[in-house]
Chain A
Amino acid sequence: MSTAEEQPGPSKPSGSATDEKERDDRTFECNICLDTAKDAVVSMCGHLFCWPCLHKWLETRPTRQVCPVCKAAISKDKVIPLYGRGATKQEDPRNNVPPRPAGQRTEPETSTGFPGFGFGDGGFHMSFGIGAFPFGFFTSTFNFGETRPSPAPRGTPQFEEEQFLSKVFLWVALLFICWLVLA
């Protein structure tokens, strides 16, 4: 940045300052009223509108709500309000226009590995599963209460599968009980 002719900034001014300003203004024009967007909202397809303008258009064709610019599907719930820094003025342009939809905030995801499986660091966290086990075992094994769906008829592939699965579960249960007794 030692050369004096290089202008620091996002873009080099190509015309006069008024030209540049005009182009900036046009970038933020509402696609409906062609004014600078007031109470600005942006559609999922990226098109900018004043909320009162867009709302009026959605009301005009309630059964066929499409983006005026690209005809993508559009709805009140799928537009995002734009909050600029300077837009602090709280005047509602028309009383019959419902308030602009609020922005949706999603909390950022924390990246601390698996918070539910603390095998290494904080002891063993599976106690609730063991506590509930005997009751689940009795109800499912001795079949109290409601009847279960009838098993698949003998000889079908589903029957084979069910037999195999029940054997697997039986062995898993036995291993688990042994482990509980020995541990």
Chain B
Amino acid sequence: MSETTDTGGTRAQGAREGRMSGLSKEKIGGILARQGILVAFVLFMVGFALANQRFIAPDNVLGVIRSSAILGVMALGVTFVVISGNLDLSVGSMMSFSTIVVLDLHDQIGPALAIPAMFGLTLLIGAVIGFLVGYLRLNSLIVTLGMLSAIHGLTLTWSGGQNMDIADKEGTWFSVFGQGSVLGIPVPILIFAGLAVVLGLILAKTPFGRKVYAVGGNGVAATFSGVRRARVVFMCYLASSFCVATAGLIQASRSLGSQNTVGQGMELEVLAAVILGGASLLGGSGTIFKTVIGVLILGFIKNGLLLVGLQFYVQYTVTWVIIILAVWLDIAAKRGRLWSPIA
């Protein structure tokens, strides 16, 4: 009581205090529930920065974002698919395909034609998936899991199982997408940022974006409101394959040579980034901004673990432990309790 008078001032203030603290607690809870991942991200960055100052050095930060760009670009597209209530597990395998195809065509028809040709072929695959999931209403998990394998087969057939290399690595302008920089900012970052802005606007501000949320939130109600559900899902897979083609372009341009399996396993990391950002696997929620945060968290986790000196092999495990923890805390913040209320 004496403490209250010390700090509280007038009686009225003291009387209101209980309610005030309740209110601010509620507010903090609200912010945590809505922006839990963002808060976690900031705390995490501060923690690692205290452990190792190298972590927030500008060149390190830029390096992390640059190396996250490929994953990030793919995650932008998958965000559309996930919000529409579907999954895309084929993106890793599709990225390998794009990379191999553009590298091979580079030497055969030149980069100016190779790039649009690769985009066309990748979009064609995206259209097939979009048709199967959107118009034929097949389960997206099964379709994209099958496509993961099928596209891998396509890639191997195309390359004959060989690694693909550009003959003249010094003399091509093709390297600009992966290795160039403008005003000191690496081009992959610019592509990632530019695409994030454009796709972010499409999702948040256009009628199409609205319909993506509606279809994912309640596909039946969307249909009953005149939304052409199949077309929306189809377009989401096209968007996803467009992003994959862009990622493949950056990957190919950066290394100018590639194995058939360069994107292997990335589908799960991409999905992790999207979920980490807070999109629901059930569809109907998520944003491009949140996905970008998810991508950055994933990138900085890996980088941070490296900087504090953890062995490379341990990283897989630790990364996933952190992802699961983050998702748990996010859900806990939304529920307002750590454990599910249903015993």
Partners in one complex: no
Binding site for B on A (CB under 8 A): none
Which residues of B does A touch, CB under 8 Å? none
